[in-house]
Copies of this chain bind each other. A is one copy, B any other.
């Protein structure tokens, strides 16, 4: 009986198995996989302790033997999908490699749309997160700068990816649990915006609306943003 710790704890520092007592019925990987399955299929809000326990086929409170707080379940989820990152031998062109890293991360987030929401706060240093970070640093071996600057570059790239993916998926994620579609939601918002702009109170915004025609290519917007950020470092 550990009680609930009144002192902070990183789940990765706690051994998965202590030796004493009955064999645990599940591994951390099992639990993470179950949670990820639910989040992918039904959204992050569907990931409740009860739901995950049901998915595993155990009692709700049994989960707390593996994971002291729900937040730690989120850590497990993030680490699990971080493991999907396939790493490669750096090419020697750090710009190209960081481009690829960013695109892979973006793809990962599109595959697991709950990921950006969990990434916003600072998270613990999970094994796969460290593996990823080390890989980024390897990609930057050819970048002549201090480690401090390299870290800032990595943080910046990850931040941009998270920000843009969040924007890309936000309406779809929002309307997931709502009784109307993404398209309806967007239509209503755009209509309201159009009405406001037409009021004449926002001349430049109106001019901006008058200017561009075609629909925006989100991938192109992302790529431009990424290019600019990398330019800022070179």
Binding site for B on A (CB under 8 A): 6-10, 12-13, 116-117, 120-122, 124-125, 130-131, 133-134, 137-138, 141, 146-148, 150-152, 155-156, 159-160, 162-164, 166-167, 170-171, 173-174, 178-180, 184-185, 187-189, 192-193, 195-196, 201-205, 207-208, 211-212, 216, 221, 224-225, 227-233
Q: How far is the CA of A102 from the CA of B122 in the complex (A)?
A: 22
Of chain B, the residue at the smallest CB distance from A11 is B192
Q: Among the listed B7, B189, B196, which residue makes an inter-chain contact with A184, where contact means beta carbons less than 8 Å apart? A: B7
> In the assembled complex, which residues on chain B have CB atoms less than 8 Å from the CB atom of A233?
228
> In the assembled complex, which residues on chain B have CB atoms less than 8 Å from the CB atom of A121?
166, 170, 173-174
Contact A202 B133, CB 8 Å, known A7-B184, A8-B188, A163-B163: yes
Identify 8 residue pairs between A and B in the complex whose beta-carbon atoms are under 8 Å apart, listed by A's number: A7-B188, A121-B173, A148-B208, A148-B212, A159-B159, A160-B163, A163-B163, A229-B229
> In the assembled complex, which residues on chain B have CB atoms less than 8 Å from the CB atom of A146?
211-212
Expressed in whole angstroms, the minimum distance between the Cβ of A80 and any Cβ of chain B is 18
Given contacts A121-B166, A138-B204, A160-B163, 10 further A-B contacts (CB under 8 A): A8-B180, A8-B187, A120-B120, A121-B170, A125-B192, A125-B193, A134-B204, A148-B212, A148-B216, A228-B233
Of chain B, the residue at the smallest CB distance from A162 is B163
> In the assembled complex, which residues on chain B have CB atoms less than 8 Å from the CB atom of A189?
8, 10, 124-125
> In the assembled complex, which residues on chain B have CB atoms less than 8 Å from the CB atom of A138?
204
> In the assembled complex, which residues on chain B have CB atoms less than 8 Å from the CB atom of A163?
159-160, 162-163
Q: How far is the CA of A152 from the CA of B228 in the complex (A)?
A: 11
Expressed in whole angstroms, the minimum distance between the Cβ of A17 and any Cβ of chain B is 19
Q: Is the CB of A152 within 8 A of B204?
A: no
> In the assembled complex, which residues on chain B have CB atoms less than 8 Å from the CB atom of A171?
122
Expressed in whole angstroms, the minimum distance between the Cβ of A233 and any Cβ of chain B is 6
Of chain B, the residue at the smallest CB distance from A179 is B6
Question: What are the 5 A-B residue pairs with the smallest beta carbon separation, nearest first?
Answer: A228-B232, A147-B208, A137-B204, A159-B163, A232-B232
Q: Is the CB of B188 within 8 A of A10?
A: yes
Q: How far is the CA of A216 from the CA of B148 in the complex (A)?
A: 9
